[in-house]
Amino acid sequence: MTEQEALTKPENISSGTAAPVFDAAALFSQHQKSIVRVSDKVNLGGNLLDNTVGSGFAIDYLPKSQKGDSTGNKEEAACRFATDNHVVANTSKDAALELGNGNKYPFTVELRDEANDLAIVRVENVKKDDCHPLEITDQEAPVTKDDPVLKMGARNGSPGFTEGKVETYFKREEARGLPLLPGEDKNRSMLSVLTKSNQANGGDSGGPMLDATGKTIAVMDAEGPNVMAGTPAHLLRQHLQKLKATDK
């Protein structure tokens, strides 16, 4: 699945009370430090080059342990990031997360949800200023038709944003033209947003979609002219809560 494939717009949901107009640029400026570029190495003519495979965003900061493990070694701080499963499904050992400030970190995939195309990755020994977790909604459908939405992503290495308005919640199988991924649930819920842009921003898969309060409501999954779609973020929150329950 790529952002370049066209999305067929599903039927609209019933109209609700529109959210107040919000300042997209200000919201992006406030939260852009949370965004990372997911990159991997590609061999072109014998040269290994960085290739953007998607985006991600911070969701959990794990402070440095002061107690230490059974050997007496203290654990360094770690950070969890969210992205799409299809972004990291085929990454190599050379894959990395790159922040807007240029800092890069190797990562390990801590959780995969193929059915909903979600993944959580973990970075060890992270600098505290490189981990800015976004708040994630706990509601299954936190927005209604015409509510404003801000999508953030890496845009091939440079963080950027797209503004839009909610169109509808719909079933994955209604996004005709997007072949199902291995293990993906055709009946899963997705959120579609209408945008003014007639372009698809390659590399934004895995980035967050925010509401007017800055809360993550969906994870960017696919994009086409004037429309983008994401996976409802309450599912991501559920996964994160399960991981946190196993932390020391």
pLDDT tens column, 17-31: 554 568 999 999 999
Residues 194 and 116 in one domain: no
* CATH for 126: 2.40.10.10
**Domain match, 49 and 125 both:** yes
Burial of 75 (0-12, 13-18, 19+ CB in 10 A): middle
The domain in which residue 183 lies consists of: 24-29+135-238
DSSP state of 136: B
Say how many domains are in the chain. Answer: 2
Residue 206: CB atoms within 10 Å: 33
Taking the C-alpha atoms of residue 4 and residue 68, their distance in angstroms, rounded to an integer, is 47
Residue 49 vs residue 95, higher pLDDT = 95
- Reading the block at residue 7, the tokens are 């999305």
Residue range 178-195, pLDDT digits in tens = 889 999 999 999 999 999
Mark whether 162 and 187 lie in a shared domain. yes
Residues 109 and 142 in one domain: no
Are 89 and 63 members of one domain?
yes
The answer on 123 and 49 residing in a single domain is yes
pLDDT of 93-106, one tens digit each?
A: 999 999 999 999 99
User: Has residue 65 been placed in a domain?
Assistant: yes
Q: Are residues 157 and 206 in the same domain?
A: yes
Assess whether 142 and 126 both reside in one domain: no
If we measure between CA atoms, which residue out of 217, 221, 180 comes closest to residue 201?
Answer: 221
